[in-house]
A and B are shown apart, each in its own frame.
Chain A
Amino acid sequence: MNKITETYNIFGKQPDEVISSPEVSKEPTARASGLMALYFEAKSSASVEFPYWYSRRWAELDGEIPIVRRAEALKAGFEHLTPVIFPGELLVMGKANYLRGSYPMPWLSESYFMAAEDVMYQEALQSGKLSADKVTTWGKGGGNVTKSEGNVISIAGKFGIRKEEIPALLRIARYWKDKSVDDVGHKYEMMVPAYEVKEALMRSVICMFDSGYTLPQGREVMNYYYPLQFGIGGMKSYCGEMIREVAGSPDMDRLYYYKASLLTLEGLEQWFLHYEEEARLLATLEKDAKQKEEYLNIADRMNWLSQKPPRDFYDALQLVWSFHVAVLNEDAISGLSPGRLGQVLYPFYKRDMEKGILDRNKAIELLECMRVKFTEIDCFASMGVVGGVLSGNTFNNLCLGGLKKDGSSAANELEMLILETGISCATPQPTLSMLYDEKLPEELLMKGIECTKIGTGYPAWVNNQVAMEFLVDNYGHEGMSMEEARAWAIGGCLETSPGSWMPLTLDGVEYYIPGGSAPATSVGVHFLSLPKLLEVVLFDGMDMRTGQRVFQPHGFDLDSYDELWEAFKDYFAQSVEVLTLCNNIQHDAWRKISPSLVNSMLKPDCLAKGKDIGQKGCRYNTTFNVEICGTTNLVNSLASLKKNVYENTEFSLAEYRDAILANFGYKTAREIGSYSLIDQQPREEYMNFKRIHKLSQEAPKFGNDNPYVDEIFKNWEEWYCDMVHDYRSLYDEPMYACQISVSTHAPMGAVTLATPDGRLSGTTFADGSVSAYPGTDKNGPYALFNSATCWDHSKSQNSQLNMKIHPSAVKGRDGSRKFLELIRAYLRKGGFHVQFNIVDSRMLKKAQADPDQFRGLMVRVAGFTQYWVELGKAIQDEVIARTEYEEV
């Protein structure tokens, strides 16, 4: 038989000894260590507190102007949040009244957390909205509440909620039926011609999820300028002045916007003051003098920040965190990135260090506390979204490096400390990205290498120049200059996001700090499974897994490769067309029912224009995209069909269809409980398909610098990156390409039959967009780089390359130098992004077998770092299977 060996995915010679710990290991401060111990004990917990008060106030205001009604509801939510402060915390505030707290937002969508037998759940299932949930698996360990226990009910295998809150949650959910963004959007999206195709795309999981009501915000960069410069009080004053200025004038929407912003700020103010009260209460109970003093300091700080701009670095960090949480609490959000935080906070850091009121140790302690707080963030959404896409991660990406407004290196010593604390306090959040530019100092780059080598997968390495080129190309018509493009950062795991330079004045000195100036940069068509789409092409519009028709027959005989390619493009275009229209409707429902208020007031130029994000208040609004998954398996499959069917005529397409339906004679991944090609087991009939499977596997594979397959890849990329511009977003702007897999390559692989490249049914796709399929990149990293860069990456919002390198290959100072040169080589070729797992795969297998011994182990998936024990098995299998480079 054609045995798939355990070493097929090794490039080079694997050392005999298993390496289980990083070359460099640093300990966090005692404070952060204590807080992380508490974090490791905590389970993901949902609360009904915020949704209750939000819904109650909303219901009271029937007939009010929608944006004002929304603001009143948000205000009520913030005003009634129970404050929780844990011993040892220096930074306080969280999403809900638990350490890993979150809550459902039924005003967005309410059916997914209903009981499976509930009619609302069944209706959602029928429309295809919950199809991804059905094929998603969670990690069984860590903080996931995988089953109900005692007085705790498990929702979606992830969140625990108290039994006594369930009836209230269901009552609130039923209140929102036919009022939520999901339901209202659905009513109107059904008016789109070919809507039935959209439902079929969802049911077949060719498309993963609707973006308008699941995660309507996120994948964007925060802008902390206004609170840092003016404080809540200053922002309130501005809104008050503007209300007086615009009341009764034409364009009355501005009046309602400023009133809504003012109400929201009042809610935030009370939220701060309630934390002050709680800190004072704790101080009265506290016997330890140091802890008592810290509680009193927190109380004073929260009181001050409830009105005024920050006085120092500590204040500034607290305020940044508070507003970060405030935005997270207004919508279901993933990928809300702090952006270039080390540059945003540098003026405060620099001044405090010069004044001698801050030292390195204190700064490190605060930054470690920040890492813990970001790691506590959970997002409550459907299982398909939180599990299938996010793997429980929330993608708060902190960027380092890049350039200043004047084009010089933006690196600073605070960024060195951010990297240092990323090493000493290694946590999944915030993940780090290095905006690589040739102008960056070697010191910062080598620190980045030191950090990457500890095995947590951050910083990812991103090409500054390629990103700026993309931004000028796509936002130039909105005024984006090269100077402004320099303010960019990554939103979410890997979404290039526009920024702006904001003039922060501190002690009379003006600093231009970067911050996001666009709404969510990754909404629209999410995600399209390319291998599944090819499968449907081969079966003339049918999804053979479910037996349901997705498209009308394409009408092509498929008797030439060109016809196959045309048929694929046709189905892809049909998918983009209908999904764009439906998502535009959903986002329109979102902006009308649940407009952004907290985020809007932070983003230039919403406050100045008097328009929220949904009314194009932001400076840049070309932010919808078409997101794909499974590029490598598509390209390898096309190469295999081209070679085996059309050129060498080894097999007919009919024979390929039979082999696909028979899974090349293998058992399915679900049958054997493993989603990696390594583990698949043949059936007796394997011999009937041995030759076709062998030739499929031997067909040219992406990642080897092979022009045959790279040309197919290049053709795909050039067509796809161009065709998406023909579709218009809700804001009447052209859409752009986005290619990151996040975790979708697992559930999308799970529903896809065997593919013509030899991949077997149900197994996970290759990750990222330019990663090789595990075990198929045989010619070393530089060949992989050549293949990956055979097209122009600046034509897409991103590309994504994941690599796994054995720790021994980059050991020591020389290893670090080689490692940096490897990264440079890729980025200089025009690669947009590369990230690494520096890990011994054998250790990951041990961790899979004995997860309790590896609670703190983290791996890089696709744009994010996550605790191993909180990943679903399909993703774990895929990470283990990735090609491991023993030499660079």
Chain B
Amino acid sequence: MENTCKDCCYFLAIDVFKGMCKMDKASISHDSLACGHFSKIAKCKFCSKYKQETEFLGICMDQVAAHPDLVAIHCDSFEWIGMN
């Protein structure tokens, strides 16, 4: 699956439809295809401790409910997939 702007650490959401790029302030939508500057933001779906259960639901560390698009930049337990 191709990366979209909502998964990029340079995406600044204005609302649920759209946002802007922190790099160049270009108007983009959450679902725009990512550009060459794309860099993943920490989200549950990129964490090694997250297990997907359904399309939009999952579990964290085998015990706590979580969901794939939850931003985890301030989660102490976050660990990038493939980093451990």
Q: Does B51 contact A (CB under 8 A)?
A: no
B residues 19-44 touching A (CB-CB < 8 Å): 20, 22-23, 25, 30-31
- Per-position 1/0 for A156-169, Cβ under 8 A of B: 00001111111110
B15 at the interface (CB under 8 A from A): yes
Report the bound CA distance from A148 to B22 in whole Å. 27
- Cβ of A552 under 8 Å from chain B: no
CB nearest to B21 among chain A residues: A285
Contact A274 B69 (CB under 8 A): no
B71, A97: Cβ atoms closer than 8 Å: yes
Please determine whether B68 and A164 come into contact, CB atoms closer than 8 angstroms. Answer: yes
- Chain A nearest CB from B4 CB (Å) reads 10
Tell me the nearest residue of chain B to A99, going by C-beta: B14
Check A544 for interface membership: any CB of B closer than 8 A: no
Please indicate the chain A residues that have their CB under 8 angstroms from the CB of B71 in the complex: 49, 82, 97
Least CB distance from B65 to A in Å reads 6
Say yes or no: A152-B25 contact (C-beta < 8 A), given A56-B64, A86-B12. no
A285 in contact with B23 given A43-B15, A152-B17, A165-B67 (CB within 8 Å): yes
**Closest A residue to B71 using CB positions:** A82
Q: Which B residue's beta carbon lies closest to that of A55? A: B65
Contact with A along B43-76 (1 / 0, CB 8 A): 0000000000011110000001111111101110
Closest to A38 in B: B14
A135 at the interface (CB under 8 A from B): no
Q: Is B67's CB under 8 angstroms from A168's CB?
A: yes
A447 interface contact, C-beta 8 A = no
- Report B-chain residues with C-beta under 8 Å of the C-beta of A586: none
- Look across to chain B and name the residue whose beta carbon is closest to the beta carbon of A152: B16
Residue of B nearest to A168 (CB): B67
A167 touches B15 (CB 8 A): no
CA A172 to CA B67, docked complex, whole Å: 11
Q: How far is the CA of A84 from the CA of B71 in the complex (A)?
A: 13
Task: Tell me which residues across on chain A come within 8 A of B73, comparing CB atoms.
Answer: 82
Which residue from B14, B54, B74 sits with its C-beta under 8 Å from A42?
B14
User: Are B70 and A151 within 8 A (Cβ)?
Assistant: no
Distance in angstroms from A270 CB to nearest chain B CB is 8
Contact B57 A162 (CB under 8 A): no
Residue A171 is within 8 A (CB to CB) of chain B in the complex: yes
Question: Closest Cβ of chain B: how far from A340's Cβ, in Å?
Answer: 33
- Please determine whether A164 and B56 come into contact, CB atoms closer than 8 angstroms: yes
A616 at the B interface (CB under 8 A)? no
* A150 smallest CB distance to B (angstroms): 7
Asked if A292 is at the interface of the complex by the 8 Å CB criterion, the answer is: no
Contact check, B75 vs A80: say whether CB atoms are below 8 A apart. Answer: yes
> How many angstroms from the CA of A85 to the CA of B20 in the assembled complex?
11
* Contact present for A162 and B69 (CB under 8 Å): yes
Most buried by A among B10, B16, B64: B16
> Which B residues are CB-close (under 8 A) to A285?
10, 22-23
Please report the C-alpha to C-alpha distance between residue A79 and residue B22 in the assembled complex, in whole angstroms: 22
| A160 close to B17 (CB less than 8 A) | yes
Report whether A160 and B15 are in contact in the complex, using a CB–CB cutoff of 8 Å. yes
Cβ of A868 within 8 Å of any chain B Cβ, yes or no, is no
Instruction: Say yes or no: A161 contacts B16, CB within 8 Å.
Output: yes
Provide the bound-state CA to CA distance between A140 and B14, in Å.
20
User: Would you call A162 and B16 a contact (CB within 8 A)?
Assistant: yes
Known: A164-B69, A282-B22, A285-B10. A171 touches B16 (CB 8 A): no
Total residues of chain B contacting the partner, CB 8 A:
29
- Which chain A positions have C-beta within 8 A of B67? 48, 52, 164-165, 167-168
Query: Chain B residues with Cβ under 8 A from A165's Cβ?
Result: 56, 67, 69
Number of interface residues of A (CB under 8 A): 45
Interchain CB contact under 8 A, A80 and B74: yes
A41 interface residue (CB < 8 Å to B): yes
Are the CB atoms of A79 and B16 closer together than 8 Å?
no
Closest chain-B Cβ to A329's Cβ sits at a distance in Å of 15
Q: A151-B30, A164-B69 are in contact. Are A84 and B13 (CB under 8 A)?
A: yes
A99 contacts which chain B residues (CB < 8 A)?
Answer: 14-15
A168 to B71, CA, bound (A): 13
* Closest partner residue, chain B, to A284 (CB atom): B22
Q: List the A residue with the shortest CB-CB distance to B76.
A: A79
Residue-wise interface mask of A (43-76) relative to B, using a CB-CB cutoff of 8 A (1 in contact, 0 not): 1111011001000100110000000000000000
Residues on B with C-beta less than 8 A from A152 are: 16-17
Query: Residues of A contacting B14 with CB < 8 Å?
Result: 38, 41-42, 86, 98-99
Rounded to whole Å, the gap between the CB of A258 and the closest CB of chain B is: 25
Q: Determine whether the beta carbon of B10 is less than 8 Å from that of A168.
A: no
Does A10 count as interface, using CB distance less than 8 angstroms? no
Interface centre among B14, B18, B31 (most CB of A within 10 A): B14
B15 in contact with A171 (CB, 8 Å)? no
Residues in A whose Cβ lies below 8 Å from that of B17: 43, 149-150, 152, 160
Knowing A151-B31, A285-B22, A285-B23 touch, does A167 contact B57 (C-beta < 8 A)?
yes
C-alpha spacing A773/B31, complex, angstroms: 50
CB-CB under 8 A from B23, the residues of chain A are 285
Chain A contacts for B12, CB-based, 8 A: 84-86
Q: Does A100 contact B (CB under 8 A)?
A: yes
A168→B57 contact, CB < 8 A = yes
Q: Are B56 and A166 in contact (CB under 8 A)?
A: yes
A45 touches B57 (CB 8 A): no
Is A682 in the interface zone, CB < 8 Å from B? no
CB pair A171 B57 closer than 8 Å: yes
Q: Closest CB-CB distance, B30 to chain A, in whole Å?
A: 7
A4 CB, min distance to chain B CBs, angstroms: 42
Contacts of A296 in B (CB 8 A): none
| In the bound complex, CA of A507 to CA of B62 (Å) | 55
Expressed in whole angstroms, the minimum distance between the Cβ of A868 and any Cβ of chain B is: 21
- Give residues 466-508 of A contacting B (CB, 8 Å): none
Which of chain B's residues has its CB closest to A167's CB? B56
Return chain A residues, CB-CB under 8 Å to B66. 52, 168
| Other-chain residue from B20, B31, B56, B74 in contact with A168 (beta carbon distance below 8 A) | B56
Query: When chains A and B are docked, how far (Å) is the Cα of A82 from the Cα of B42?
Result: 11
With both chains docked as a complex, state the minimum distance between the C-beta of B37 and any C-beta of chain A, in angstroms. 10
> Which residues of chain A have C-beta atoms less than 8 A from B25's C-beta?
87
List A residues 717-756 near B (Cβ within 8 Å): none
Contact residues in B for A168 (Cβ distance below 8 Å): 56-57, 65-67, 70
Are B13 and A97 closer than 8 Å at their CB atoms? yes
Q: A162 contacts which chain B residues (CB < 8 A)? A: 16, 30, 69
Q: Which residue on chain B has the smallest CB distance to residue A100?
A: B15
The CA of A285 and the CA of B21, in the complex, are separated in Å by: 10
Contact A43 B16, beta carbon cutoff 8 Å = yes
Q: How far is the CB of B49 from chain A (nearest CB, A)?
A: 14
CA distance A167 to B71 in the complex (A): 16
B56 to chain A, nearest CB (A): 4
A525 interface contact, C-beta 8 A: no
- Shortest beta-carbon distance, A80 to chain B, in Å? 5
Chain B residue with the shortest CB-CB distance to A47: B16
Q: Which of B18, B23, B25, B31 has the most CB of A within 10 A?
A: B25
Complex Cα gap A848–B12 (Å) = 34
A-B contacts, 27 listed (Cβ < 8 Å): A38-B14, A42-B14, A43-B15, A45-B16, A48-B70, A49-B70, A52-B70, A56-B64, A60-B64, A80-B75, A82-B74, A86-B12, A87-B20, A87-B25, A99-B15, A150-B17, A151-B31, A160-B17, A164-B56, A164-B69, A165-B56, A167-B54, A167-B56, A168-B67, A172-B65, A282-B22, A285-B10
7 shortest A-B CB distances, which residue pairs?
Answer: A168-B67, A160-B16, A45-B15, A167-B56, A45-B16, A43-B15, A164-B69
Binding site for A on B (CB under 8 A): 10, 12-18, 20, 22-23, 25, 30-31, 54-57, 64-71, 73-75
* Chain A residues near B (Cβ < 8 Å): 38, 41-46, 48-49, 52, 56, 59-60, 79-80, 82, 84-87, 97-100, 145, 149-152, 160-168, 171-172, 270, 274, 281-282, 285
12 further A-B contacts with Cβ under 8 Å, apart from A80-B75, A161-B16, are A43-B17, A56-B64, A60-B64, A87-B20, A97-B13, A145-B16, A165-B69, A166-B56, A167-B55, A167-B67, A281-B22, A285-B22
